[in-house]
Every structure is written in C-alpha cells, then in structure tokens.
C-alpha cells in the first residue's frame, strides 16, 4: 500500500504520518500515510487553477471520455474492495455494490455530457428592425465555476468519497477537483486517487485536474476552503463539520457556496388503513431498513409517526421483536460508535421516552447495538432533543392522538432528505392534506418503500431544506448535481469567430438549444 498523497501527477511522501485503523479490532493497519501540509494545499489549488481553463474548454465528448476512463481505471484497481473493507468494517457485498455505483454515476455523467442538455444553450437572435428598439443578438450557455474542493465521507468510502458524486459532477461541469480524503480510509482514497491520476494521464489532461490531500487535522480542510482559487465545496458529513466549512467559506474575501449534506432523521408516516392491512410486514421491513449497514445511512428512518391505536401497537411490537434479533454490526470508526452510544443514552434517559427494544449484545470493538424507542406526539413536540439525529441504528416511534397532532409533529421538524408515506387507497385523502407541508420539509417524498437506498438517476433529489443540506435548491445525487458547479454566461453581439463552440451560429457541437423561445 502506497502512503503518498497526490499533488497533480506527483506522489508526495515523507514528513509527518498517520495511520488507518480496522474498526473491527481498533488495531492500526500496516501503512503510514503522509500528512499534507497547508503548503501542499496551496500547491494543489494552484495546479487546479492552472488546469481550469483548458479543462472547462474541452468538448463535451472529451470530458465524457475522461469520466468513462476514470470508471474503467477504478474497476481495474486491484485490492480496492479489500482495502475499503479493512478501513471501514463494511462487508464485501456492500462495497462491491458501492464500487459499481461509483463507476455507474461516472458513466451517467458521461452520458449526460454527450446528450448536451446540461449546457442549457439559449439563443435570442438579433431583431434589428424591432420597434421601438432593436434587440441585440443574445446567446447564453453555462460554464464551470472553477476549482472545487471535495470532502470524502465516512459512511461511503467509494460512492461519496474521492471519485464519488461530488467529484463526478464537478468533473462533468469542467471543474478541477482538490479532494480531502477522509482520514478513516486513506488507503482506499489513495487507490481511487491513483485511478483518477491514471485517467488524467491517459486522456492527456493537465495534471492539475485532480489532486488528493490527506491528513487527520481539521485545519487541512479549512485551509482548502480558504484558498482563493477554490470556487465551491462539496461535503457530506456531520452538521458541525458542514457548518464550520460554511462559516469559513462565507468569511472569505470572496464568499463561495458550500454544498453540504449534513443531518436528517427521515420521518416515516404510517397511515391507518396501511397499518391495518400490513402492519406486521411493515414492522419487519422497518427494522430491516433501520439496521442496514448498522444504520449508518443519511436516509436512515430515525422517526416513525402514526395514530395511537392497537394497529400501531402491533406494528411496534413486531418491530421490537425483529430488532431484538438484530445482530450488532461494526460501525465505521470508534468515534462514530462512541457518538452513537451517547445519542442512544440521551434518548433512553428522557422521562417521556420508553425503550421498546435493544438489539442483541455484541462482542468485539465498535459494535452498534440497535435501539428502538417510543414516545407521544405531545412529548415529541415539546422536546426538540427527541428530533436530533442519532447516526446509527436507533429510531423512535411517535404515537399521536389525531392527524392534527401528526401535522404538528411534522411541522416542528427541521428540513429532511426524505419523508416516507406508508399508505393504502383509503389513506390518500389524509395524506393529500399533509403533502404541501411535506414538500416544504423534504427533498424526496416516497410511498410504500423505505428511505434507505438512493437511485442515481436523472430525477433523483438527494437534498432538502436545512439542516438536511446547506442549500435546498440542489441535490448531491443524480444528474442535477452538475448544476451546483455551473454558472450562466451571456454573449451579446459577439462576432461568430469569438463565440465559444456551444453558442456559435452553426452549432458545431450539435447541442440542444432554445432558439427564440422554441426548443430545437
């Protein structure tokens, strides 16, 4: 295993080092990883700035080929899944699937580039004879914002990390990337970084298109966000971490956007007819979603809300019975496990909260023991601490006395990534009354499923009002993620020789256009 970090085409080693730990044993893994310095951050950002104009000016097909090549190189990287397993404690099947998702989203953005709609080319042809005033020739396209800082996430060492959705969408937009690898999985980060580095070389691109910096200190990421050459930030992690980066970015001489996915409890609303028809099956499926991956998903169902009734009691008992059998799984890091235990202790210590069930006891390090609680709608409304995210397999069932109380529970919640409806036909009238409120609260509303699992597609929204994300207008998953890293530019009366290819009169790239208000 190579312990270097990557500044452009160069591997850098020496100086201070740090190690990764196997969360299943808390033992250090075998490689010493070089720690980047603030000076290395500046070097990487300078290279990214040097690369920016040539990279953003590539024809869409050339950038698409680069994204395809990155995916190919990741698939050809020996030992990637095994190293990710050692550093994260996640099982082989999960990480094999995550590698497929990572490569799949790279190729989806390549397809998007070839389709051309992302450029949003708009042409208003000149109207020299218009009265009372003529109209100039106006042509608009979207261009990349500049170099982007990407922060690797702890819970997805591949799909939300070095070559994850933030990096893929930034590359697709034409933005060089300086990535801060997550310190929990530096070996995984190096392997993926090497794959991107190889793709940059194969495609003949400027070396500054990608750099990887590494190290455990928060100051490293802070220096990256402060660098004046960075023009946007992609982050997935804790609310505290995301808000710290937002503050740094807003206090720069030139403030920049931080697209941070941070905190969500993803409420699930259980409607009466659905509970009566299939409450037992729903209880089992709920626990399956809750305990998947030790609950370490940003879309984990942290709160379930329903009308107090025998059917809800039956659902809760079925869920409790299933949860008792849930075997504890290794959590991502010792710190995440410690914070999970604190969150569970906080909930269990509330006088208005009843502990329904705990998962099986585990042996070994950092095993997250699942937890299920219940409370009343009034208590949930009166105590904001009950709505705080517990990152792990912990959830609370809220028993309400009326649909009005359900509405109050939902209205008091912060912004969410998801809201789930479990309903049958007879429930649709009451669900329709709540839908406008749900639209104000969440980025994705789903019916008769469970929120864990996010499809990478054209329509997907993985975002939502604060604190789910720092900018509710955006998504970090799906093709719309590219919009975070693009800005519009209008060209007025420029000679055709000076116009960029996307807006030239002859449309040499064959991009879709809106011309004088009509689609072409």
Residue in the structure block whose two tokens are 């070095």:
162
Q: Is the peptide bond between 221 and the residue preceding it cis, with omega within 30 degrees of 0? A: no
Q: Which of 87, 298, 389, 405 is catalytic?
A: 298
Pick the closest to residue 406 from 425, 424, 372, 430 (CA basis): 430
96 vs 114: CA distance, rounded Å: 27
**The dihedral of CA 217, 223, 224, 226: what is its sign?**
positive
Q: Is 490 a catalytic residue?
A: no
Three-state DSSP state, 183 = coil
132 vs 47: CA distance, rounded Å: 50
Beta carbons of 182 and 154 less than 8 angstroms apart: yes
Pick the closest to residue 504 from 119, 175, 205, 128 (CA basis): 119
406: left (phi over 0), alpha (psi -120 to 50) or beta: alpha
Pick the closest to residue 155 from 367, 336, 342 (CA basis): 336
Q: Which of 261, 389, 405, 414 is catalytic?
A: 261
**Residue 134 burial (C-beta neighbours within 10 Å; 0-12, 13-18, 19+):** exposed
DSSP state, residue 38? H
Contacts made by residues 477-481, CB under 8 angstroms, sequence distance 24+: 477/105, 477/165, 479/108, 479/109, 479/112, 479/118, 481/165, 481/166, 481/168, 481/169
Q: What number of CA atoms fall less than 13 Å from residue 42's CA on the CB side?
A: 3
Residues sharing a CB contact under 8 Å with residue 416, sequence separation 6 or more, in sequence order: 264, 265, 266, 267, 441, 442, 443, 464, 465, 468
Kindly report the number of other CB atoms within 10 A of residue 518's CB atom.
7
Structure tokens at 500: 């960029």
460 vs 456: CA distance, rounded Å: 7
**The dihedral of CA 198, 175, 4, 84: what is its sign?**
negative
Q: Is 430 a catalytic residue?
A: no
| H or E element at residue 179 | strand 177-180
Q: 16 vs 31, 184, 190, 210, 376, CA distance in Å?
A: 13, 17, 17, 23, 52
Q: Which of the residues are catalytic? A: 261, 298
């Amino acid at each position: 295993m190579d312990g270097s970090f990557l500044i452009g085409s160069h591997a850098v080693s020496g100086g201070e080092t740090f190690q990764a730990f196997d969360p299943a044993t808390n033992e250090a893994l075998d490689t010493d990883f070089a720690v980047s310095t603030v000076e290395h951050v500046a070097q990487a950002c300078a290279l990214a700035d040097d690369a920016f104009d040539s990279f953003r000016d590539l024809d869409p097909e050339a950038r698409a080929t680069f994204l395809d090549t990155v995916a190919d190189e990741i698939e050809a990287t020996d030992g990637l899944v095994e190293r990710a397993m050692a550093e994260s404690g996640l099982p082989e099947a999960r990480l094999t699937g995550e590698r497929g998702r990572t490569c799949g989203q790279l190729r989806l953005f390549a397809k998007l580039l070839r389709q051309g709609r992302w450029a949003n080319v708009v042409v208003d042809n000149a109207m020299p004879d218009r009265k009372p005033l003529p109209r100039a020739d106006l042509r608009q396209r979207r261009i990349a914002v500049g170099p982007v800082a990407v922060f690797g996430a702890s819970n997805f060492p591949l799909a939300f990390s070095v070559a994850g959705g933030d990096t893929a969408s930034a590359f697709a937009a034409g933005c060089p990337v300086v990535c801060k690898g997550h310190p929990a999985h530096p070996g995984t980060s190096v392997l993926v970084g090497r794959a991107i580095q190889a793709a940059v070389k194969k495609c003949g691109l400027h070396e500054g298109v990608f750099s990887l910096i590494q190290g455990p200190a928060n100051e490293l990421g802070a220096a990256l966000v402060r660098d004046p050459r960075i023009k946007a930030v992609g982050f997935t992690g804790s609310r505290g971490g995301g808000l710290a980066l937002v503050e740094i970015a807003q206090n720069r001489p030139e403030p920049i956007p931080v697209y941070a996915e941070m905190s969500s409890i993803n409420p699930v609303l259980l409607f009466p007819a659905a509970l009566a028809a299939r409450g037992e099956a729903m209880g089992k499926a709920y626990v399956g979603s809750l305990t998947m991956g030790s609950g370490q998903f940003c879309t984990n169902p942290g709160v379930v809300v329903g009308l107090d009734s025998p059917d809800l009691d039956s659902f809760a008992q079925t869920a409790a019975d299933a949860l008792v059998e849930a075997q504890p799984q290794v959590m991502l890091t010792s710190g995440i496990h410690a914070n999970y235990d604190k969150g569970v202790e906080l909930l269990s210590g509330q006088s208005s909260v009843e502990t329904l069930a705990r998962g099986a006891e585990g042996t070994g390090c950092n095993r997250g023991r699942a937890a299920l609680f219940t409370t009343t709608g009034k208590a949930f409304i009166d105590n904001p601490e009950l709505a705080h995210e517990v990152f792990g397999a912990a959830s609370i069932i809220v028993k309400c006395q009326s649909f009005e109380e359900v509405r109050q529970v939902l209205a008091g919640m912060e912004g969410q990534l998801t809201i789930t409806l479990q309903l049958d036909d007879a429930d649709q009238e009451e669900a329709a009354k709540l839908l406008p409120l749900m639209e104000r609260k969440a980025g994705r509303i789903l019916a008769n499923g469970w929120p864990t699992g996010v499809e990478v597609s054209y329509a997907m929204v993985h975002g939502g009002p604060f604190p789910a994300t720092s900018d509710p207008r955006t998504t970090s998953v799906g093709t719309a993620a590219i919009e975070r890293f693009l800005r519009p530019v209008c060209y007025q009366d420029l000679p055709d020789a000076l116009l960029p290819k996307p807006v030239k009169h002859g449309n040499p790239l064959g991009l879709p256009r809106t011309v004088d208000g009509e689609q072409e």
